[in-house]
Amino acid sequence: MNGKRFSPDDPERRRWQDPDVILTTIGLEPGMVFVDIGCNEGYFALPAARIAGSGGKVFGVDISPEAIGHLASRARDEGLTNMVLRVGTAEDAVVCRKCADFVFYGIDLHDFRDPAMAIRNAGKMLKPSGLLVDLDWKDEPTPFGPPAEIRFSIEKATSLIRSLGFHILSVAEAGPYHYLIIAGLR
């Protein structure tokens, strides 16, 4: 993020990107299954586990063993027993079949080696009524974030998602720096 890193508890980040608000907006409720691909240290996965509760489950996948280790430690410290964490790539991640209410990409779809493969995998994991959620950087200058040349514009992201068998349910702004796409299976 242009040299600026935010911890999962960073109050500055929460001012412009509140994970609880985003998760509530997409419809996450107790008892649901949430898959966070590229979960890092759990900025969205931890609040999702709190919301999903003991009757739900959160799968977190990240390429960084260190990030998964930190997230596992935080989950233990909080007594969150509904998290299943693994080290892996988005292109290889199919943590379950037809079990997920949500597959979530939190500001990372542009980072994947093969975003199309990651989205295909989402289709394998989602229940027929499940939702793919892409929260990503607007394609405009921001004071931090990834370089503009690797960001996905809303048009590029929606076109890719549609081309892989999803229909776009909504596209909205998600704070000053991000957009939020919600898509369902056809």
What is the domain partition of the chain in residue ranges? 13-185
Eight-state DSSP code of residue 10: -
Identify the architecture of domain 13-185 in CATH: 3-Layer(aba) Sandwich (3.40)
Is the pLDDT at 66 greater than 50, yes or no? yes
pLDDT tens-digit readout, 83-123: 999 999 999 999 999 999 999 999 999 999 999 999 999 99
Name the residue with tokens 């790539």. 89
Q: Using the predicted structure, report yes or no on whether residue 181 has a pLDDT greater than 50.
A: yes
Return the ∠ at Cα 88 (arms to 39 and 119), rounded to 5°.
70
Average pLDDT of the residues of the chain: 93
| Percentage, residues of the chain above pLDDT 70 | 95
Q: What's the mean pLDDT in 136-161?
A: 93
**Which of 120, 183, 175, 115 has the alpha carbon at shortest distance from 151?**
115
Least confident of 12-21, 64-73, 133-142: 12-21
Q: Which regions of the chain does DSSP assign to beta strands (E)?
A: 33-37, 57-62, 83-87, 100-106, 126-137, 166-173, 178-185
pLDDT digits (tens, 9 = 90+) for 161-177: 999 999 999 999 999 99
